[in-house]
């Protein structure tokens, strides 16, 4: 009887490793490698602008920033991938940190920092969802066909039974 020895060397997730597996890359980030590479320079601009003046903790930088090998997540592509995977899979921060070889507090700091930078990059591209209801109504009025993709959100139902009926769609059974 022969046994195969499996060597479980710990390897953190890295863009350079995953970009060669496009199906897996898209399944964990929601973006194709091409779309990721399109977004990356915009994200890098936001990162460079932030990193020029502030530390990871948001404090004003006292001296110039330089690339270090012991940085939490060293490459900009890995930073963007880190955030996209977090948004897509919504893991516990402890699990996400372990996947990238960092601590949970470091993961928490990165998630909050990089989220704001991604929002700025998407805004530069004009890819943020519209939040102004009047502008949305105006745009929809100009279109002939509209397809809405919405999410059902829970609401606080009123206590009065006659008012509760207006908040109940009838599509789900009430559990009593």
Spatial distance between the Cα atoms of 3 and 146, rounded to a whole number of angstroms:
59
The pLDDT > 90 percentage for the chain reads 40
Sign of CA dihedral 115, 121, 71, 6: positive
Q: Is the pLDDT of residue 10 over 70?
A: no
- Place 52 in a pLDDT band, splitting at 50, 70 and 90: confident
Domain boundaries, the chain: 15-125
Q: Which residue has the higher pLDDT, 159 or 110?
A: 110
Least confident piece of the model among 10-14, 118-122, 144-148, 172-176: 172-176
Say yes or no to pLDDT of 8 above 70: no
pLDDT of residue 175 exceeding 60, the answer is: no
Residue range 17-30: mean pLDDT, rounded: 93
H-helix segments, the chain: 15-18, 22-29, 33-53, 76-89, 93-100, 104-125, 133-142, 161-164
pLDDT at 46: 95
The pLDDT of residue 70 is 55
pLDDT above 60 (res 86): yes
Q: Is the pLDDT of residue 104 over 80?
A: yes
pLDDT at 63 exceeding the cut of 70: yes
pLDDT level of residue 67 (50, 70, 90 thresholds): low
pLDDT the model gives residue 68: 60
Model pTM greater than 0.85?
Answer: no
Q: What is the mean pLDDT of the chain?
A: 82
- Label residue 131 by pLDDT band (50, 70, 90): confident
Per-residue pLDDT at 170:
61
Nearest to 54 by CA among 109, 103, 105, 100: 109
């Amino acid at each position: 009887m022969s046994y195969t020895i499996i060597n479980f060397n710990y390897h953190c997730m890295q863009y350079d490793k995953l970009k060669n597996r496009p199906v897996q890359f898209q399944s964990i980030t929601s973006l194709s490698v091409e779309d990721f590479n399109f977004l990356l320079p915009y994200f890098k601009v936001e990162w460079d602008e932030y990193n020029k003046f502030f530390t990871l903790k948001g404090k004003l930088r006292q001296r110039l920033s330089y690339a270090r090998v012991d940085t939490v997540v060293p490459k900009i592509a890995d930073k963007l991938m880190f955030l996209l995977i977090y948004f897509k899979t919504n893991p516990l921060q402890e699990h996400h940190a372990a996947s990238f070889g960092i601590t949970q507090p470091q993961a928490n700091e990165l998630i909050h920092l990089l989220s704001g930078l991604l929002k700025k990059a998407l805004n530069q591209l004009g890819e943020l969802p519209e939040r102004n209801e009047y502008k949305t109504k105006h745009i929809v009025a100009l279109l002939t066909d509209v397809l809405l993709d919405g999410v059902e959100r829970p609401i606080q139902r009123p206590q009065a039974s006659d008012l509760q009926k207006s908040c109940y769609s009838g599509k789900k059974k009430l559990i009593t």
